[in-house]
Amino acid sequence: MNKDELIELKTLAIDLNDEKSVNSLSQTLSELKGAGYVKVILEFKTSADQELNKSQIDIESFRKIKEVQELPDWVVINFMIAAEKLKDSNLIKRLSYG
């Protein structure tokens, strides 16, 4: 599948805590298969607030970076998650002496 040529068929909001919601995903996939579709791409998205809470990102730092850099929420969140993962990796040392 060429991502540039994809057509959006449906959008579902699924609450993973609601069994009816999860069942609707299964039903929708069955309907698509019955309609003759053999491949689909599922994209999983969440809200910035939910990701901030899950990742335990410092909200004040997030807001300051977002305001100063004028970046979308997801860019700042991904940056902060990457920065945290790289914090103890000696990346700067490896790059400096590489």
Tens place of pLDDT for every residue, the chain, 98 residues?
677 788 888 888 888 888 898 899 999 999 999 999 998 888 888 888 888 888 888 888 888 999 999 999 989 988 888 888 777 777 667 677 65
Give the burial class of 24: count Cβ atoms within 10 A of its Cβ; 0-12 exposed, 13-18 middle, 19 or more buried: middle
Dihedral class, residue 70 (left if φ above 0, else alpha if ψ from -120 to 50, else beta): left
Is residue 39 included in any domain, yes or no?
no
pLDDT value at residue 31: 94
pLDDT value at residue 36: 95
Is residue 55 domain-shared with residue 22, that is, in the same domain? no
Is residue 30 domain-shared with residue 56, that is, in the same domain? no
Is residue 53 domain-shared with residue 91, that is, in the same domain? yes
Q: Which of 10, 14, 18 is nearest to 41 (CA)?
A: 10
Is residue 40 included in any domain, yes or no?
no
pLDDT value at residue 33: 95
Is residue 73 included in any domain, yes or no?
yes
Q: What is the C-alpha radius of gyration for the chain, rounded to an integer number of angstroms?
A: 20
Boundaries of domain holding 18:
3-34
How many domains does one find in the chain? Answer: 2
Is residue 84 included in any domain, yes or no?
yes
Is residue 91 included in any domain, yes or no?
yes
Is residue 60 included in any domain, yes or no?
yes
pLDDT value at residue 21: 87
Cα–Cα dist 64/76, whole Å = 10
Is residue 63 included in any domain, yes or no?
yes
Is residue 52 domain-shared with residue 28, that is, in the same domain? no
The pTM assigned to this predicted structure is: 0.54
Is residue 58 included in any domain, yes or no?
yes
